[in-house]
Amino acid sequence: MAEVVTSMLIGPLVSMVKDKVSSYLLDEYKVMEGMEEQREILERKLPAILDIIEDAEEKAAHRAGVRAWLKALRKVSYQANDVFDEFKYEALAREAKKKGTVHTIICSASIVFRHRMGKKLQKIVHDIDVLVGEMNAFGFSHKQQAPPLKSSRQTDPVMIESEKDIVKRSRKNEEEKIVKILLDHANNDDLLVLPIVGLGGLGKTTFVQLVYSNPKIEKHFQFRKWHCVSKEISGKRYLLVLDDVWNEDVDKWQKLMTCLQHAGTGSALLTTTRSAKVARIMSANYCNLGNLDDVFLKEILERRAFSFQKPTHAELDNNVNEIVKRCHGSPLAAKAIGSMLSTKTSEGEWNAVLNKSSICNAERGILPILKLSYDNLPLHMKQCFAFCAVFPKDYEIDVENLIQLWMANDYLPLEEDVSLETTGRRTFEELAWRSFFEDAKQTKLEDKNLTHFSSIKTCKIHDLMHDIALSVLGEECTTITERLDQKKLLPKHSRHMFSSYHETGTCLIDILKKQAPALQTLLCPWPGAKNWTPRMPKCSSLRALKLPDSSAFQIRPRDLQHLRYLDLSGNWWIKQLPEEISILYNLQTLNVSGCRELCRLPSDMKYMASLRHLYTKGCSSLKFMPPDLGQLSALQTLTYFRASVSSGCSTIGELQNLDLGGTLVLSCLENATEAQAKAATLGNKEKLRNLSLEWSSECHEEPVTDCHKKLLGALEPHDGLEVLRIVGYKSTCLPTWMKDLSSLQKHLTELHLVGFTLCEEFPEFSNLKDLRILRLQDLEKLQSLCTGEASLTFLKLKELQLRDLKSMERWVAAEGREGEVAFPQLENLIIWGCPKLSTLPIDTPNLKVVNLNEDKAQLSLLIVGCRYLSLMSELTLSVRDKEAVLELDDDNGESSLLKLAFYGCDFFFPSSPSQTAVGIWRWFGNLVSLEINDCDALTYWPEDVFQSLISLKHLYFYGCKNLVGTTQVKGEPAPTRTHVLPRLNSLHVTNCGRLAELFALPPSITRMNILNCHSLVTLPDLPPALTELSIFGCKKLCSVSGQMDALERLSIGDCNALQSLDSLGHLPSLTDLHIQRCKRLTSVPGALGGYSALRYLTIIYCPAIDMKPLYQRHQQRLDSLEGRNLSHAHSSDPTEGTFLSVFLLLYAAYLLFRPCPV
């Protein structure tokens, strides 16, 4: 099948070249002057080739000559594509020159340009002439191409729900069978492993979702989690789902089972796989998922094909029955072919589909059906979907970025009065409707470097659909997800490359230099790249480039004239972009979001006429915006704009004629005027959804209350706004549109007001009926959340943040109505620095996460004794009150808390060792993560507290300056040290300077990090299950011992009393060894030759280590490592005692001591 479909992208490619030949730009700027005849020849012959391309692709399956002809056509089409893009670039360059750009050197002298391009064009015309002659000799026949879409179509949620209902009804018996097996296992101590086996596209994942969401299962299991891979379990009875398992490595499976061995009684592991061999490795008993009954398949197909309507012709109804038989029980096939048939209205068209689908059989599965669905796509959709083969399987694709990548490669057709983005969205929705994409959803961004209220739309591709795309794109795409072998060359026809393996850097660049393939797309989305070369090789055909976020900006814009998409986001190295970047006249998307050191953009950006999307959010160091941005008439996205009074920069008035949408942050508004704000005409920007207006906190001028009010009044947005954020407003009153926000009530879902230090009036927040998130911070004169004159119910509010509200005393201003405030949907409550607020809202039945920070413990004591504590999953408390006493209500019972973190909060522990632990701990049997910070009352390991924490997996101690250890405080060691915390997985202890010993560590621990515990002398008998051990800044530590056969990563630094690590054994599983600044350490642990798994080795500033034996005996082993740093192994640290050494230690702590997710 691969050979058949290798040529399938030739039709869209020829069509794209045909459109470029007719581009109006070529006429307007006369860049093809003297070459009109050759252009006319191509305008005649390319449509003729398109007429027969489908027949040629079909015949290529059986005729080698036709395959060779198609490959030759593909080659010349790519050459023509580059040539006509050169013509386009020359046209854009002349347009920029006409406007006055300084980069006139880029515009070729007309005679030289005509001569050079004339030769290229003449060769292409000659090659096309030869191919047309051969085409006529082959005698291809004309075949009708799939028509372009006339209107957009979104996946109907009603349709999706109806299909779910069909699947639920069809799988009822099998669902009940699996549920019974799981429930019957309730009293069994062994972990139940139950694989679900079935062909691809049969609906295994959907079926397991039904089981997972079954009410009986939800009630039975205390903990459920869905994963592709899992390293975490809780001590409760749990149900863990591993979807789409392929690995046939028995050892890896046994290691996973070892991680899961501490399961609660009745726990179960449910897996899905296509492979019976994989299923047998996992369990002797597995469930074969049968084909979906034809009755249910017919329901799915008809609903897709006829949109809930019965077919009008009996003949079509008969065809439905026949086509259903070809689906072989697969709902994916039924959805795909049903969606395709929705565009066919005649019996003849249906008969053609029926005839083509006759090639399907049980042995080949549903791939022919899916391929048939692909074949019926319009040309540009074939190209768009096939491009997605460059992403790895199960990759979560950013839909907006995907559309921009389609645009960059010219896959989207131009339509009159329709933007490329709109065409791209229609294309995506149509492909999703036809089941080429799945799992489309809105995903909230959690990147703290950027503004916190962003979200993106993502999707995935079913594995079988990915196989179709890969078979079509073939060797034109390269996906690198693991270590790259330098001996292997990239396919010479590779056009699109994706590399997600973070060690690829230098090796990849070396290969690119040697082969210099005509890459059009290079995506390297890995964070923290290592070994990335300082300069990219010349890849002159690149249309899209995504560089890793830790590489310096080392590309030459003059080598990238065809570039349409450039993503440098998250790069901390870049301080300014080269001025020469403004010659990228084709560039449509420039993403520098999160480049927080970037201080300026190129001053000539106004000439980048093609620029449509400029992502600058998170560029907090920008000083000003380049001049005349208003000339970028195509610009639709500008995420961050910094106002400035500097000469030669853009003011916010430049936004007037820009049709901006999405997100916009206007910063440093103290530098803007009312006239400029009015000129910006935000009220006319209908596509704007997310607006942030910010006055700088650095402004120390006299209060300019009238200026702020007038400026904010002039910045009234369109009523379609969904998110509004205002920061640093310095006026006593609000402009009219802000007083009640009535113009925004229809769509506003998030409101953030920060730094209203002078304001004395506020909107009636409860009037915003669709509000989901409300954040109020530094509103110094706000006394209550509601006046009491309007509704007191926040119907849809899910998150409420109140920070530094010094005057807030009540929830309602009106007397006697405090208890009437209702938050029926509230899930997340954050209250920081509200010293006068002494009550909590009563009606919050869905509260899950609470974060309180206060001097006095009034709210914290309320929440701990609150009746909703039993429903919460996460609680964070910060209390500086040393005198607070916790009084408990014994009726509260067991809490559902999974994560508890507190700062200070001395009331959680007894004031002396002779006292018993506070009784609240007995409620926390479900707790998974516990973090204790700066707790002065904690002097010894609270082992009596630990007895209650039977589910705890992650334990953190930070800055507990009085923590010493059990033996030292109580005066004598316990006769026997009993293990506590039976489920503990990771232990982190940081900045506990007096700590002299650890508690008896349970055997379940796999990760342990110790930092700056200066009194710790020994770490004896470490648990054998440890896979990661990090020890830094323990000055007195002289002994570390244990049988460490499972240890994979060992990092030790700044332990100057440590002389040997031989007591750790041979470390057969070690992959990473990092040792630094250990003055007395004389050797590495064990024998390097025995480290069969070692991949990375670092030894820095350890002057006592003798490196000669390592080099003499194990040079070959050292050379085989993926990464090593031995350059200063036996040197002394030149930064010792300086601020730099302290910084490096703190940075190591940041990297190594990040909390694990719950």
Rounded CA gap, 614 and 606, in Å? Answer: 12
Identify whether the C-beta of residue 1042 lies closer than 8 Å to the C-beta of residue 1021: yes
Q: How many CB atoms within 10 Å of residue 843?
A: 14
Chain-centre distance for alpha carbon 1008? 28
Q: Pinpoint the alpha helices (H) of 545-683.
A: 674-680
CA dihedral 485, 486, 488, 492 (to 10 degrees): 130
DSSP 990-1039: ES-TT--------TT--EEEEES-TT--EEEEE-TT--EEEEES-TT--E
β-pairing, 477-480 with 1072-1076?
A: unpaired
Domain boundary among the residues 238, 271, 288 is at: 288
Residue 1019 has what pLDDT?
93
Domain assignment present for 612: no
Mean pLDDT of the chain: 81
Structural domain span for residue 1025: 1006-1152
Would you state the pLDDT for residue 412? 94
Contact 989, 965 (CB under 8 A): no
Q: Which segment of 359-368, 408-417, 844-853, 922-931 scores lowest on mean pLDDT? A: 359-368
Q: Are residues 74 and 182 in the same domain?
A: no
pLDDT, residue 1144, reads 46
**Residues 130 and 231 both lie in one domain:** no
* Displacement of CA 640 from its chain's centroid (Å): 21
Radius of gyration over every alpha carbon of the chain, rounded to an integer in angstroms: 33
Q: Please report the pLDDT score of residue 146 as a whole number.
A: 60
Q: Is residue 194 located within the same domain as residue 300?
A: no
Domain membership of residue 939 (yes or no) is no
**Residue reference for tokens 């006292």:** 915
CA 626/CA 622 separation, integer angstroms: 10
| DSSP sequence for 980-993 | --TT--EEEEES-T
Please indicate, yes or no, whether residues 120 and 22 belong to a single structural domain of this protein. Answer: yes
| Residues 193 and 106 occupy one common structural domain | no
Q: What angle do CA 213, 218, 224 make, to 5 degrees?
A: 85
Query: What gap in Å lies between CA 772 and CA 748, rounded to an integer?
Result: 9
Q: How far is residue 609's CA from residue 583's CA, in Å, rounded to a whole number? A: 10
- 947 within 8 A of 971, measured Cβ to Cβ: no
Say if residue 1129 is in the same domain as residue 1011.
yes
Give me the mean pLDDT over the 393-417 stretch. 93
**15 within domain boundaries:** yes
pLDDT of residue 978: 66
Instruction: Let me know: does 405 contact 520? Beta carbons within 8 Å.
Output: no
In a domain, residue 730? The reply is: no
Query: What average pLDDT does the segment 727-746 reach?
Result: 90
* Other CB atoms within 10 Å distance of the CB of residue 873: 17
What pLDDT does 599 receive?
94
Q: Residue 448: which pLDDT band, with cuts at 50, 70 and 90?
A: very low
169 φ, ψ to 5°?
-70, -40
Domain count, the chain: 4
The verdict on residue 140 lying in a domain is yes
Alpha-carbon separation of residue 924 from 198, 265, 928, 982, 1001 (angstroms): 41, 19, 9, 14, 20
User: d(Cα 1120, Cα 1118) in Å, to the nearest integer?
Assistant: 5
Strand order across the beta sheet in which 223-227 lies: 223-227, 238-242, 268-273, 192-197, 287-288
Distance CA 624, CA 644 (A): 6
Q: pLDDT of 625-666, one tens digit each?
A: 999 999 999 999 999 999 998 888 999 999 999 999 999 999
Residue 1033 and residue 1135 share a domain = yes
Residue pair 380/50 in contact by the 8 Å Cβ criterion = no
In a domain, 623, yes or no: no
Cα 10 from Cα 78, distance rounded (Å): 10
Confidence of residue 913 (pLDDT cuts 50, 70, 90): low
Q: Please, where are the H alpha helices in 395-462? A: 399-408, 420-433
Report the pLDDT value the prediction gives residue 102, as an integer from 0 to 100.
Answer: 46
Cα dihedral 1088→1093→1098→1103 (10° resolution):
-20
Percent of residues in the chain assigned helix, strand, coil, to nearest 5: 35, 15, 50
pLDDT at 439: 84
pLDDT digits (tens, 9 = 90+) for 666-689: 999 999 999 999 999 999 999 999
Average pLDDT score over residue span 1115-1129: 72
**Rounded to whole angstroms, what are the CA distances from 115 to 34, 35, 121?**
10, 10, 10
Q: Which of 52, 65, 71, 55 is nearest to 10 (CA)?
A: 71
Give yes or no: residues 1031 and 1145 share one domain: yes
Which tens digit of pLDDT belongs to each residue from 296-314?
888 888 888 776 455 555 5
Q: For residue 225, what is the domain's CATH number?
A: 3.40.50.300
Q: Do 107 and 186 fall into the same domain? A: no
Choose between 1051 and 26: higher pLDDT.
1051
Average pLDDT over residues 1029-1041: 94
Rounded Cα–Cα distance for residues 236 and 264 (Å): 5
Domain assignment present for residue 1001? The answer is no
Of 784-798, 973-987, 996-1010, the range with the lowest mean pLDDT is: 973-987
Task: State the DSSP string of 176-244.
Answer: HHHHHHHHHTTT--SPEEEEEE--TTS-HHHHHHHHHT-HHHHHH-SEEEEESS-----SS-EEEEE-S
Whole-angstrom distance between the N-terminal and C-terminal Cα of the chain?
A: 46
C-alpha span between 1077 and 1099 (Å, rounded): 9
485 compared with 330, residue with greater pLDDT: 330
Contact 666, 641 (CB under 8 A): yes
Relative to beta strand 477-480, strand 521-523 is unpaired
Give Cα separations from 649 to 642, 792, 816, 992 (angstroms).
10, 47, 55, 52
Q: Do residues 288 and 306 lie in contact, with contact meaning Cβ atoms separated by under 8 Å?
A: no
pLDDT-derived band at 293 (thresholds 50, 70, 90) equals confident
Q: Which residue, of 357, 375, 393, is where some domain finishes?
A: 375
1103, part of any domain:
yes
User: Does residue 232 share a domain with residue 364?
Assistant: no
| 199: pLDDT strictly greater than 60 | yes
Mean pLDDT of 254-259: 65
Report which residue type is found at 608.
M
Last residue of a domain, one of 345, 375, 405: 375
Cα(670)–Cα(702) distance, integer angstroms = 12
Q: Could you tell me if 252 and 139 lie in one domain?
A: no
Q: Are residues 354 and 318 both part of a single domain?
A: yes
Looking at residue 941, its pLDDT comes to: 83
Q: Which of 85-94, 135-144, 291-300, 346-355 has the highest mean pLDDT?
A: 85-94
Measured CA distances, 242 to 170, 193, 204, 815 (Å): 23, 11, 11, 55
Query: What residues have CB less than 8 Å from 364, skipping those under 6 apart?
Result: none
What gap in Å lies between CA 17 and CA 609, rounded to an integer?
Answer: 22
Residue 537 half-sphere exposure toward CB, CA atoms < 13 A: 18
